[in-house]
């Protein structure tokens, strides 16, 4: 399988360089495929410079457009390189590179959407994050009729052709939930794989544990209302 790592990044100069270097070192070499694509989503710090210096293929949005938009930009560029799938990796250092490689090498079929499943309590995630993920899991599982164990984890392996064909419309954090809803409804195979994550005390995130889960549920409900169950 031809697979690349994809990092959507926003104000990530402190962490993105080390992450890119580790991924570049660990990733299998594939002709014509840069190991790591970074989409700098309108950062005003040195995120782009840090990513380039560490060996990433860089794409930069002039303005902040949201995580979903950054992912889609990366998907389209990876597809143009001839990749079949990408593994999305959060820029904040939450996802160890060996866990990204675990998803890249997972034996699931190339057309499968492979979801990383975190042990949030065991990893010491803030209680607000645990609650928001539980709420999202409950609603997405109810709406899809499938038990989904971690609907907010950013570490995923996306099958490129099928993902882009699903037509998810959200440009922010709700993209991942909307895409998951559309994938289940379209019959895309879903594999859920336990992964290890890190929650260092100084970790910075742009995800709001109250506002963004509400937007996620609203997007899912909107998709159901417009397009039907």
For 159, 206, 207, the CA distances from 138, given in Å and listed in that order, are 25, 23, 19
* 3: β partners: 85
> Is-contact 92 205, C-beta < 8 A?
yes
Does position 18 have pLDDT exceeding 80, yes or no?
Answer: yes
What CATH number should be reported for the domain holding residue 175?
A: 3.90.550.10
Residue 198 dihedral angles phi and psi, to the nearest 5°: -120, 140
> Is-contact 197 118, C-beta < 8 A?
yes
Does position 128 have pLDDT exceeding 70, yes or no?
Answer: yes
The confidence score (pLDDT) of residue 229 equals 46
The confidence score (pLDDT) of residue 197 equals 93
Does position 114 have pLDDT exceeding 70, yes or no?
Answer: yes
Give me the count of residues in the chain.
Answer: 229
Extract the tokens encoding 24: 């570049």
The confidence score (pLDDT) of residue 94 equals 92
- Domain of 82, in residue numbers: 3-227
* pTM of the entire predicted model: 0.88
Through-space distance between the first and last CA atoms of the chain, rounded to whole angstroms: 33
With H, G, I as helix, E, B as strand and everything else as coil, classify residue 16.
Answer: helix
For the chain, the average pLDDT equals 90
User: How many domains in the chain?
Assistant: 1
* 142: β partners: none
> Is-contact 157 114, C-beta < 8 A?
yes
- pLDDT confidence bin for 129, thresholds 50/70/90: confident
- pLDDT confidence bin for 174, thresholds 50/70/90: confident
Query: What are the tens digits of pLDDT across the range 31-48?
Result: 999 999 999 999 999 999
């Amino acid at each position: 399988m031809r697979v690349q790592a994809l990092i959507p990044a926003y104000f990530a100069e402190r962490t993105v360089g080390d992450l890119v270097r580790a991924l570049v070192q660990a990733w299998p070499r594939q002709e014509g495929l840069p190991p790591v694509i970074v989409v700098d989503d309108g950062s005003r710090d040195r995120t782009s410079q840090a990513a380039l210096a560490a060996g990433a293929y860089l794409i930069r949005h002039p303005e902040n457009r949201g995580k979903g938009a950054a992912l889609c930009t990366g998907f389209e560029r990876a597809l143009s390189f001839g990749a079949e799938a990408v593994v999305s990796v959060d820029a904040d250092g939450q996802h160890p590179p060996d866990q990204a490689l675990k998803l890249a090498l997972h034996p699931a079929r190339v057309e499968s959407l492979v979801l990383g499943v975190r042990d949030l309590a065991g990893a010491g995630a803030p209680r607000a994050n645990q609650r928001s993920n539980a709420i999202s899991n409950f609603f997405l599982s109810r709406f899809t009729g499938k038990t989904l164990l971690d609907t907010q984890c950013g570490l995923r392996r996306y099958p490129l052709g099928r993902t882009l064909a699903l037509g998810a419309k959200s440009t922010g954090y709700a993209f991942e939930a909307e895409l998951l809803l559309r994938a289940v409804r379209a019959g895309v195979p879903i594999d859920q794989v336990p992964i290890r994550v890190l929650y260092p005390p100084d970790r910075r995130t742009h995800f709001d544990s109250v506002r963004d889960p509400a937007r996620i549920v609203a997007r899912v409900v909107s998709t159901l209302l417009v397009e039907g169950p």
